[in-house]
Structure 1
Amino acid sequence: MRKIIVIGSPGAGKSTFSKQLASRLDIPVYHLDALFWKPGWVESSREELKQNQFQLINHEKWIIDGNFRSTIDIRIEAADTVILLDRSRWICLYRVLKRRVMYRNTIRSDMGKGCPERVHPEFMKYVWRFPKDKLAPLKEKLAMVRHEKNVFVLTTENEVERFLVSVQGDANERM
Structure 2
Amino acid sequence: MQRIAIIGCGGSGKTTLGRQLAALIDAPMTHLDGIYYDADWKPLPPEEFAAIQEKLVAEPQWVIDGNFASTLPIRLASADTVVFLDIPPLVCLWGILQRRLRYRGGQHTEQGVYDRIHWGFIRYVLGYRRQMRPRVRALIAEHATQARIVTLTSRRAARRFLTTVADQT
What TM-score range do you get, normalising by the shorter chain? Answer: over 0.9
User: In structure 1, what is the equivalent of residue 83 of structure 2?
Assistant: 83
- Does the CA contact (< 8 Å) of 1:5 and 1:76 recur in 2? yes
User: In structure 2, what is the equivalent of residue 153 of structure 1?
Assistant: 151
Deviations 1:26-67 (A, max 9, x none): 111100001001121111111111011011011110000001
User: In structure 1, what is the equivalent of residue 11 of structure 2?
Assistant: 11
2: distance between equivalents of 1:12 and 1:107?
15
The residue identity in structure 2 corresponding to 1:82 is V
Deviations 1:100-149 (A, max 9, x none): 23332x44237741x33331111111111111100011112333456521
2: distance between equivalents of 1:84 and 1:110?
24
Q: RMSD value over aligned CA atoms? A: 1.7
> TM-score scaled to structure 1, two decimals?
0.90
The residue identity in structure 1 corresponding to 2:135 is P
The residue identity in structure 1 corresponding to 2:16 is T
User: In structure 1, what is the equivalent of residue 162 of structure 2?
Assistant: 164
User: In structure 2, what is the equivalent of residue 61 of structure 1?
Assistant: 61
More off after superposition, 146-155 vs 120-129: 146-155
User: In structure 1, what is the equivalent of residue 40 of structure 2?
Assistant: 40
The residue identity in structure 2 corresponding to 1:32 is L
- Does the CA contact (< 8 Å) of 1:33 and 1:111 recur in 2? no
What is the identity percentage for the equivalent residue pairs of Structure 1 and Structure 2?
33
2: distance between equivalents of 1:107 and 1:133?
25
2: distance between equivalents of 1:111 and 1:125?
27
Task: Count how many residue pairs are aligned between Structure 1 and Structure 2.
Answer: 169
- Does the CA contact (< 8 Å) of 1:7 and 1:83 recur in 2? yes
The residue identity in structure 2 corresponding to 1:20 is Q
> TM-score scaled to structure 2, two decimals?
0.93
2: distance between equivalents of 1:49 and 1:147?
24
2: distance between equivalents of 1:133 and 1:98?
24
Q: Which consecutive aligned stretches of 4+ in structure 1 deviate over 6 angstroms post-superposition?
A: none
Unaligned stretches of 5+ in structure 2?
A: none
Deviations 1:66-122 (A, max 9, x none): 010110001100111111000000101111122223332x44237741x33331111
Deviation at 1:11, TM superposition (A): 0.4
Deviation at 1:158, TM superposition (A): 2.2
User: In structure 1, what is the equivalent of residue 136 of structure 2?
Assistant: 138
